[in-house]
Amino acid sequence: MVTLIAGSLVLSVLHALIPNHWLPVLAISKKENWSIGETTWVTFVSGLAHALSTVMIGVVIGLLGVTLSETLMGFTHIIASSILIALGIFYIYQHHRHKHFHLHAETKPMSKNRIVIGLAIAMFFSPCFEIEAYFLMAGAYGWSQVATLAFLYTAVTVTGMVVWVRLTYRGLFKLNWHSLEHNAGIITGITLVLTGLISYFIH
C-alpha cells in the first residue's frame, strides 16, 4: 500500500505542476487585473472542482476494486499490477496525444462570477483519468484506503495549483512549462509502470 500511495502522490504533484491546470486562471487574472488574493481563491475553487470529479470517478472504480478483490483471488497481486503496467505503457506510447483542459483568454467582457463558474465547470468536466488506476488498486485494500487516496489526491492537487499560481503571479518561479506539459505523458507512464512492477514483486 505504501507503493500505491507513493505513486499516487507523484502523479498528484505532477498534475498540480502541469500548467494547463492553473495557467488559464493566471492568464485570466492578469487580463482582469485580479489581486493575488482573488487569483488564489479562483484557483482553489477550480482545483477543487477538478479534484471532485476525479475523486467521484475514483470512488466508483474503487468499488470495482473492492468487488474484484472479494471474488478473484490474486487480484491485488497480479491483475491490479498488470493494469497499472498496461496503463503506463499506454501513456508512454500516447504521450504526444495527451490532452487536458485548455482555456484561452475570453475576449468578450464577462462578470467575475461567470468567469469563475465557467472555469469551475470546465475543470469539473476535465478529470485526471491517470490517477483512476490507483483507485482501482486501492479498492483491493478496502474503503479506508480509497478514502485515504481521495483525500491525498485532493489535498496535493489543490494545494499544488494554488502554490504554483501564487509563485508565478509574483514572478518568483519560472520553468519551461511547455516542456513539462509535453513530457507529462511519459512521466505519468513511467510512474504507473514502476508502481505496478513494485506492487507485483513486493507483494
What is the C-alpha to C-alpha distance for residues 99 and 108, in angstroms, rounded to an integer? 26
The C-alpha atoms of residue 2 and residue 176 are separated, in whole angstroms, by 31
Give me the pLDDT at residue 49, please: 94
Mean per-residue pLDDT for 113-142?
A: 85
Give the pLDDT of residue 104. 44
pLDDT at 74 over 80: no
Using alpha carbons, select from 40, 57, 65 the residue that is nearest to residue 143.
65
Please write the tens of the pLDDT for every residue from 143-164: 899 999 999 999 999 999 999 8
Least confident of 27-41, 91-105, 147-161: 91-105
pTM of the full predicted structure? 0.75
Q: Provide, rounded to the nearest whole percent, the portion of the chain with pLDDT above 90.
A: 23
Give the model's confidence band at 7: pLDDT under 50 very low, under 70 low, under 90 confident, else very high. confident
Task: List, for residues 165-182, the tens digit of each pLDDT value.
Answer: 998 888 755 555 555 556
Q: What does each C-alpha distance from 150 to 35, 61, 74, 104, 182 come to in angstroms?
A: 31, 12, 24, 29, 26
- Residue 81: pLDDT over 80: no
> Residue 162 in contact with residue 40, Cβ under 8 Å?
yes
Say yes or no to pLDDT of 67 above 80: yes
